[in-house]
């Protein structure tokens, strides 16, 4: 018989005994756990609490006795019981074996010795076993064991055994907390728990909740008088924040001396860490539970801090109050945080009704009761709100629907009552619960739980909280934003908010703006859900806010305008940018810039240009979209610059905007296409001028588009040649204007490109295969008919026979940007041709091109060998008679400017300008500096064989004086000293030897221009100039005296250094001026000039009249 065998000893052989006992124990465990629960209970009842040997001899009875004796023997010898408990833990996870396991454990634990041995071995298992499967089974096993122990699990001394079980099992809390904290995985930035971590947290909640039972808290009612114990309790909860950061799972050790009622308090630090971990797990999908856990964690830290400073006897009693408070609250928190779902909807309703009734009671109590007791009552209300948040936060969808239908309005009304409190944390948790109750039956589905009638009932109450700028309003704003989002289709909430924005108080308007901000920025799909009509109303009211100086800053800070449809706001923002109110104008421009940066596509730019064009056509029209002059700036009209609107006020925002455009090529291509379709749109052209650097980035694209467009343009030469002014003003005016702008358009686009684009000689689009200068004359006809690149097309428009004057002028300017190696040989050919045919229009175009090149490239252009040929033509043109022609003087003026710019380029170069070696004319160029030749011609009294073309006639010498005057005006500030040295050192000594009465005054005028424009650069020559002017005033002709007087004015009005230099001669100057002013032979102009100079010398207001004298231009 097996029953007899298990009681018989196999002998003294220990190895055989161990093997036999292990084998027998396995059979015993199998027999017990495979029996039916009722059979097992009956057998245990028959054996009693301390069986020795079965009287019946039944196998089950014999197995139970064997197991009892085995466990008892191990307990007495303090041997491990893993081989008994681990199989029981594994079997407890099976549905068919769990009842037998707990029946067996309950029977063994009736004995105090066995109870402690089993519990201590359980602690050893969870502490030492690293197997996750064993740990998971342990957590579920202990959780069930604790739950059963509180429900008549022990017979006889139930309470004492139950307390022993909890006190021992609580030692596992630190290890369980470690498992909980380490059992998280990070997914998309959110912490998600493993099954083991959930089981460990749930087990911890069950253990700590069990410590709040009434019988457990009342087991020890002795006063806390032992100072050592009291200090130890205080030390338990003094875990600092630094220590917590260093080791989140740091916990305190259990002391056997701690009373049972203080065990929960002992684990206060662990509760804080547990709640913080549960909060992290809830963050992704359970926002309301996260909010509730945040409030619970905050409360735990508050009571920990408050009761940590208790030190005297009264403090010990106060600490007991804190323990009772913690126990009372954690009893509910622990139950609500359990990961198990409620069994039925009826259970849910009962739990919710309890908390809701308590919340209503204390809310009413605060309204009717003593104001001095309100603070403590508020804390109670916060507790019940936390409970409701934890309860509702994890309620399943179906049970939430049931609860909402039964108590939704009652709950919402109770929550609305909480909003009247000025406590921010209470308002915050109330609003969070309300959002879940009103708007979400299930967080994932996002459905609306309350019907339309109920929402309409709630809305007026919510709006009433927007009268102030406080924490309540801040929380209600979030709720109203979600309300507007949920009801976005019919828009009742949005319309109410817009009413407040239009006619509410100052606080209401600011809060209304915040609601719209939360709606727009908080819900990514709100733009699609809200109808365009509603969006237009929102835009209209926000634009009106820009007229309210108290709301401007709020609206700008909200950054709402970029989120709205540009068609609703951009035209009006442009209009408001021209407001007479500086703050409105600045704010509108700031908002406009943000809109452009956010919507950097062509349609928005097109809208911008069209809006500015409309303003240009009618700048005085009233503002649209509800923004009246009264709202914005009273009766101030749109600001204008002269007779035209200052479009640069808006367009200057584009450089900053363009930096945000990534695919600039696409945008520029669209802008060019629009420009070609509407070539007279100067607003678009001005806009593109602000994109010069970005155009350079897309230079190849721009050049290609311009080339293709120019290739497609043909000139109707017969129609152009027959047009007279009368026909232009009649029926052909529109056609002519369209034709002019069409041919100007591609040139205007080229003009926007920076000079560096034209430096690339290898660009086939720009230059093609251009002949070198040696072959230019031989291939000139082929080159002029070349339409495969931009350069010959520009040259044709600049120097061709038939072309509009405006087009010719702009084309000549653009020719000046071409590389000198291409430009100068071509211009030399055309300017020679124009000179021979006396074609003044073509001549002016050539000169304009050369001048542009000299301005942009300086010495690089001036040093080209073909410039010698151009100078020869200029000499020839300056000798033309100008009688009977208006064009010749203009051409000669162009020649003067061209020579002046050559001089500026000459003084800019550190070395003498030379042409390339072995180039025809390079030797002549090297020794014939323009400034030297000009000075020689001005001072020379007789013709020179080197200057036979122009000669030394008075007219030619006057031209040379004009060249020097123009050079003084145009020279760069860095080159003034060099120009002053080269002009004054040569002209001052030679001026007295000039006999011509027309040339001498002109030379004095050159000196005046040098003093006036070159400023301090003439310092070393100032006394010589002064003496020259005094001498001319005494002995010169009338014209010389007037020129000398102006020179004296310039000297006296110069910088302090020059005035100090000439101060020694001012007495002589005063005498000379006095004699001239009193002489009857002097002209009236000269006398008046001398009188004014004399007044300046005798008056303290020096220089009073000097501003009236400017050099001739």
Q: In the Cβ-directed half-sphere of 63, how many Cα atoms lie within 13 Å?
A: 21
**Per-residue pLDDT, 172:** 92
Q: Residue 192's beta-bridge partner residues?
A: 185
> What is the pLDDT of the chain when averaged over all its residues?
79
**Per-residue pLDDT, 148:** 84
Say if strands 190-193 and 184-187 run parallel, antiparallel, or are unpaired: antiparallel
Residues of the chain with pLDDT > 70, as a percent, come to 78
The average pLDDT across 517-545 equals 86
Q: Which residue has the tokens 């029946």?
A: 103
CA distance 1087 to 131: 117
Q: Is the pLDDT confidence value at 275 over 90?
A: yes
**Per-residue pLDDT, 222:** 46
**Per-residue pLDDT, 340:** 64
CA distance 88 to 101: 6
Residues of the chain with pLDDT > 90, as a percent, come to 27
Could you tell me the pTM of the whole model?
A: 0.68
Q: What are phi and psi of 193, to 5 degrees?
A: -85, 155
**CB count in 10 Å sphere of residue 1038:** 14
DSSP state of 623: P
> 56 pLDDT band (50/70/90 cuts)?
low
Task: Single out the residue of 338, 315, 291 nearest to residue 224, CA to CA.
Answer: 315
Task: Single out the residue of 922, 916, 908, 796 nearest to residue 857, CA to CA.
Answer: 908
Name, of 28-37, 508-517, 543-552, the range with top average pLDDT: 508-517
Give every CB contact of residue 247 below 8 A, 6+ residues apart in sequence. none
**Looking at 51-55, 192-196, 240-244, 471-475, which range is the least confident one?**
240-244
The residue among 705 and 599 whose pLDDT is bigger is 705
Q: How many residues does the chain have?
A: 1113
**Per-residue pLDDT, 530:** 85
**Per-residue pLDDT, 845:** 93
375 vs 207, 299, 413, CA distance in Å? Answer: 32, 15, 22
The helix (run of H) or strand (run of E) holding residue 184 is strand 184-187
**Per-residue pLDDT, 954:** 82
For the chain, count helices (H), then strands (E). 61, 2
The average pLDDT across 1001-1022 equals 93
Tens of pLDDT along 8-42?
433 344 433 344 455 678 888 888 888 888 888 88
> 778 pLDDT band (50/70/90 cuts)?
low
The average pLDDT across 684-708 equals 90
> 398 pLDDT band (50/70/90 cuts)?
confident
> 639 pLDDT band (50/70/90 cuts)?
very low
**Per-residue pLDDT, 785:** 59
The answer to whether residues 765 and 704 touch, using CB atoms and an 8 Å cutoff, is yes
**Looking at 49-53, 611-615, 741-745, which range is the least confident one?**
49-53
**Looking at 194-208, 312-326, 523-537, 628-642, which range is the least confident one?**
628-642
Q: Is the pLDDT confidence value at 313 over 90?
A: no
The answer to whether residues 1053 and 1103 touch, using CB atoms and an 8 Å cutoff, is yes
**Looking at 224-228, 404-408, 782-786, which range is the least confident one?**
224-228
CA distance 347 to 793: 91
Give every CB contact of residue 341 below 8 A, 6+ residues apart in sequence. 396
Q: Where are the domains of the chain?
A: 1-140, 532-653, 1008-1113
Q: Is the pLDDT confidence value at 505 over 60?
A: yes
The answer to whether residues 647 and 686 touch, using CB atoms and an 8 Å cutoff, is yes
Q: Is the pLDDT confidence value at 457 over 90?
A: no
The residue among 646 and 195 whose pLDDT is bigger is 195
Tens of pLDDT along 840-876?
889 999 999 999 999 999 999 999 999 999 999 999 9
62 vs 27, 30, 40, 74, 104, CA distance in Å? Answer: 11, 13, 12, 18, 14
Tens of pLDDT along 897-949?
999 999 999 998 766 555 444 444 443 333 358 999 999 888 877 655 544 45
**CB count in 10 Å sphere of residue 697:** 13
CA distance 694 to 581: 33
Distance of CA 601 to the CA centre of its chain: 18
DSSP state of 973: G
The residue among 582 and 964 whose pLDDT is bigger is 964
**Per-residue pLDDT, 111:** 84
**Per-residue pLDDT, 175:** 93
Q: Residue 191's beta-bridge partner residues?
A: 186
The answer to whether residues 795 and 826 touch, using CB atoms and an 8 Å cutoff, is yes
The average pLDDT across 406-431 equals 86
Structure tokens at 803: 């072309």
Name, of 57-66, 93-102, 865-874, the range with top average pLDDT: 865-874
**Looking at 244-258, 358-372, 388-402, which range is the least confident one?**
244-258
**Per-residue pLDDT, 773:** 52
**Per-residue pLDDT, 153:** 59
Q: What are phi and psi of 192, to 5 degrees?
A: -125, 135
**Per-residue pLDDT, 218:** 54
**Per-residue pLDDT, 872:** 92
Burial class (CB in 10 A: 0-12, 13-18, 19+), 101: buried
- The torsion of the CA quartet 781, 786, 792, 793, rounded to 10 degrees, works out to 120
The residue among 733 and 996 whose pLDDT is bigger is 996
**Per-residue pLDDT, 709:** 92
């Amino acid at each position: 018989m097996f029953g007899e065998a298990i009681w018989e000893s196999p002998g003294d052989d220990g190895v055989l005994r161990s093997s036999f006992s292990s084998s027998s124990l396995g059979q015993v465990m199998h027999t017990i756990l495979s029996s039916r629960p009722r059979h097992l209970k009956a057998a245990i009842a028959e054996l009693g609490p301390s069986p020795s040997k079965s009287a019946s001899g039944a196998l089950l009875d014999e197995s139970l006795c064997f197991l009892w004796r085995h466990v008892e023997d191990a307990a007495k010898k303090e041997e491990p019981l893993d081989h008994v408990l681990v199989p029981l833990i594994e079997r407890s996870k099976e549905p068919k074996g769990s009842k037998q396991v707990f029946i067996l454990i309950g029977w063994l634990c009736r004995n105090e010795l066995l109870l402690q041995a089993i519990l201590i071995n359980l602690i050893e298992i969870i502490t030492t076993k690293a197997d996750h499967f064993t740990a998971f089974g342990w957590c579920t096993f202990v959780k069930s064991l604790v739950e059963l122990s509180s429900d008549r699990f022990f017979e006889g001394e139930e309470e004492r055994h139950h307390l022993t079980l909890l006190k021992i099992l609580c030692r596992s809390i630190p290890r369980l907390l470690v498992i909980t904290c380490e059992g998280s995985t990070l997914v998309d930035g959110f912490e998600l728990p493993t099954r083991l971590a959930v089981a460990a947290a749930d087990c911890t909640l069950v253990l700590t909740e069990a410590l709040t039972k009434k019988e457990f808290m009342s087991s020890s009612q002795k006063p806390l008088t032992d100072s050592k114990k009291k200090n130890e309790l205080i030390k338990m909860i003094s875990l600092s924040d630094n220590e917590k950061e260093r080791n989140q799972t740091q916990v305190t050790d259990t002391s056997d001396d701690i009373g049972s009622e203080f065990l929960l308090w002992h684990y206060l630090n662990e509760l804080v860490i547990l709640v913080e971990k549960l909060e992290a797990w809830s963050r992704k999908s359970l926002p309301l539970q996260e909010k509730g856990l945040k409030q619970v964690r905050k409360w735990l830290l508050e009571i920990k801090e408050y009761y940590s400073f208790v030190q005297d006897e009264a403090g010990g009693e106060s600490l007991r109050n804190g323990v009772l408070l913690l126990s009372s609250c954690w009893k509910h928190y622990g139950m609500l945080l359990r990961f198990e779902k409620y069994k039925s909807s009826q259970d849910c309703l009962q739990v919710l009704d309890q908390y809701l009734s308590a919340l209503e009671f204390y809310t009413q109590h605060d309204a009717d009761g003593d104001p001095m007791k309100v603070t403590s009552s508020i804390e109670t209300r916060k507790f019940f709100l936390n409970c409701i948040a934890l309860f509702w936060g994890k309620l399943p969808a179906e049970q939430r629907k049931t609860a909402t239908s039964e108590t939704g309005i009652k709950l919402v009304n109770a929550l609305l009552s909480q909003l009247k409190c000025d406590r921010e944390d209470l308002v915050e948790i109330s609003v969070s619960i309300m959002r879940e109750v009103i708007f979400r039956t299930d967080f994932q589905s996002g459905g609306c739980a309350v019907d339309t009638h109920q929402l309409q009932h709630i809305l007026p109450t919510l709006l009433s909280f927007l009268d102030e700028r406080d924490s309540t309003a801040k929380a209600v704003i979030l709720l109203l934003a979600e309300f507007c989002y949920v009801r976005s289709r019919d828009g009742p909430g949005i319309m109410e908010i817009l009413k407040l924005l239009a006619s509410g108080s100052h606080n209401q308007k600011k809060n209304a703006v915040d609601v719209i901000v939360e709606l727009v920025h908080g819900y990514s799909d709100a733009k699609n859900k809200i109808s365009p009509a509603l969006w237009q109303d929102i835009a209209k009211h926000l634009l009106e806010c820009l007229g309210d100086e108290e709301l401007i800053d709020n609206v700008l800070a909200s950054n709402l305008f970029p989120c709205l449809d540009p068609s609703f706001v951009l035209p009006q923002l442009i209009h408001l940018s021209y407001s007479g109110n500086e703050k409105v104008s600045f704010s509108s421009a700031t908002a406009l810039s943000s809109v452009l940066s956010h919507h950097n596509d062509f349609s928005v730019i097109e809208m911008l240009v069209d809006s500015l064009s409309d303003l240009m056509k009618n700048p005085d029209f009233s503002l649209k979209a509800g923004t009246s002059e009264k709202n914005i700036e009273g009766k101030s009209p749109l600001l204008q610059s002269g007779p035209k609107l200052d479009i640069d006020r808006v367009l200057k925002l584009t450089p900053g905007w363009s930096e945000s455009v990534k695919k600039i090529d696409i945008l520029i291509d669209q802008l060019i296409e629009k420009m070609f379709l509407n070539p007279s749109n100067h607003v678009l052209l001005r806009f593109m001028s602000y994109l010069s650097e970005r155009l350079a980035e897309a230079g190849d694209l721009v050049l290609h588009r311009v080339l293709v467009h120019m290739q497609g343009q043909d000139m109707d030469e017969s129609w152009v040649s027959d047009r007279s002014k009368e026909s232009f003003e009649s029926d052909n005016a529109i056609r002519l204007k369209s034709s002019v702008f069409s041919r100007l358009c591609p040139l205007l686009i080229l003009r926007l490109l920076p000079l560096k684009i034209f430096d690339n000689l290898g660009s086939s689009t720009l230059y093609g295969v251009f002949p070198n200068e040696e072959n230019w004359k031989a291939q000139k006809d082929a080159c002029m008919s070349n339409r495969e690149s931009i350069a010959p097309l520009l040259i044709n428009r600049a120097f061709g026979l038939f072309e509009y004057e405006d087009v010719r002028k702009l084309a000549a300017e653009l020719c000046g940007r071409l590389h000198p190696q291409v430009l100068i040989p071509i211009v030399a050919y055309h300017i020679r041709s124009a000179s021979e045919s006396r074609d003044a229009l073509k001549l002016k175009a050539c000169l304009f091109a050369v001048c542009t090149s000299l301005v942009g490239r300086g010495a690089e252009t001036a040093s080209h060998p073909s410039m010698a040929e151009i100078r020869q033509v200029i000499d020839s043109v300056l000798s033309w008679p100008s009688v009977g022609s208006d064009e010749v003087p203009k051409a000669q003026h162009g020649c003067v400017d061209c020579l002046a710019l050559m001089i500026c380029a000459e003084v800019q170069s550190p070395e003498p300008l030379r042409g390339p070696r072995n180039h025809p004319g390079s030797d002549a160029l090297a020794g014939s500096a323009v400034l030297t030749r000009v000075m020689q011609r001005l001072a020379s009294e007789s013709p020179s064989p080197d200057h036979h073309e122009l000669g030394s006639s008075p007219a030619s010498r006057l031209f040379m004086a004009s060249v020097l005057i123009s050079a003084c005006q145009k020279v760069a500030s860095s080159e003034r000293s060099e120009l002053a040295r080269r002009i004054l050192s040569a002209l001052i000594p030679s001026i007295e030897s000039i006999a011509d009465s027309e040339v001498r005054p002109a030379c004095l005028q050159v000196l005046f221009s040098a003093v006036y424009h070159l400023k301090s650069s003439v310092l070393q020559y100032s006394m010589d100039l002064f003496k020259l002017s005094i001498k001319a005033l005494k002995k010169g002709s009338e014209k010389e005296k007037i020129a000398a007087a102006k020179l004296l004015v310039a000297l006296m009005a110069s910088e302090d250094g020059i005035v100090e230099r000439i101060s020694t001669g001012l007495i002589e100057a005063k005498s000379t001026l006095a004699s001239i002013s009193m002489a009857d032979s002097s002209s009236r102009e000269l006398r008046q000039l001398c009188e004014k100079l004399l007044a300046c010398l005798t008056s303290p207001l020096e220089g009073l009249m000097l501003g009236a004298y400017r050099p001739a231009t």
